[in-house]
Structure 1
Amino acid sequence: MIRKLRRELVILLLPFISLLLRLWARTIRWQNRYDFEKDKGKIYALWHGYALALAFFGLDRGIVVLVSRFRDGDIADGLLKRFGFETVRGSAEEGREGKGGRSALLKLMELLKEGKNVAITVDGPKGPPFKAKDGVIFLAQKTGAVILPVCVKFEKFFRLNTWDRLVIPYPFTKAQLLVGKEIKVDPEDALEDKRRELEEELLTLERRSLGNPG
């Protein structure tokens, strides 16, 4: 009951929270800029712990974000829309045999074919952390979309004690978007091989974000 009331209070305060986060995002001193407009129908893959970081970087870019249907997803959905993102509720795993409804996967396929760029946290919505699931690989294989692994390196930040080790940047810190090697999934490719390739690429970016060369 208390948790439900707390969630409803947060939803009620979303306009105020989103304004504060927008102001916070504007203080970040980005050392590079990525031209999202040049991409058409790409999938940005990232760890769940960097979701806020990418939201700061991708403000008002019209990127489509896959958001969980879990109750906590209501908060993320509201914030992302106020940040200028589009959202699709569901999971990249859902359209698979035995996984339930197909609506989210079909919608993502449609948007990718229209040239929209899609962002997916590949270890979400509940983990395990830093373990890529193959839903994003399946989506790329079915649509022909290229997967672009991404991460963010902050000069000063802290991590929450959450399952995803959420990265929170300090205001006015320097930041850099890290972009990995593009991953193309052909019809004949084994999903598990490509899943491991994506996971290794994201782990390499994670190490670089922490100041380790890889």
Structure 2
Amino acid sequence: MWTPYKDGYIAQGGFASHVRLHEHFAIPIPENIPSPLAAPLLCGGITVFSPLLRNGCGPGKKVGIVGIGGIGHMGILLAKAMGAEVYAFSRGQSKKEDSMRLGADHYIATLEDKDWTKKYFNTLDLLVICSSSLTEVNFDSVIKVMKIGGSIVSIAAPEHGEKLVLQPLGLMGVSISSSAIGSRKEIEQLLELVSEKNVKIWVEELPIGEEGVHRAFTRMEKGDVKYRFTLVDYDKEFHK
């Protein structure tokens, strides 16, 4: 399952049963957040929480989440927990039921709702783009639903050759930026929010091991995930 180095040492990386590190990099997990939920929060969770926090997501704010997947579904849950009015954006209607169950107040299917830019014109304070690619985002349309002074933030790490296409006039009063991973302080704030608000991200647990990892990657490639996998049963696998 793992390829040894020349000296025989096996670096198991994210599949390891244990890790040794400096205390500066160890972050306490509140006891009411089980490990299978904590793990995705420390990756995709902080990735979407950071731009929400830095751009004033909270009561009285109208916040959009584009791309309802592993990270996007956490974006809906966290924005709602922070007190915002949440707008979920997806291309079709297939994610509507899930989005509403996650706490979204509104759902916009951008390829099917023909008049969505008129209906939601000048509405959003913040829009966080959680899709993995930016080339499919119609920025000329998205900008129309932003308020003056609003912010569009992408968390994607696009392919090197991708380019943004938009009419510059639409940028008047609207900012577009990218967000990197969050800080240690922001991770602590995220965990505090999740603990206090009892936020439950959607996680399916799979046993660590060759079969479980294979199943996770196979289903992930097919898009058969709602909406995060966490590998569990490390004690059983590593203490055989």
TM-score class, shorter-chain normalisation, is 0.3 to 0.5
Larger Rg: 2
TM-score by length of 2: 0.32
Structure with bigger RCO (C-alpha 8 Å, 6+ apart): 1
Q: TM-score, normalised by structure 1?
A: 0.35
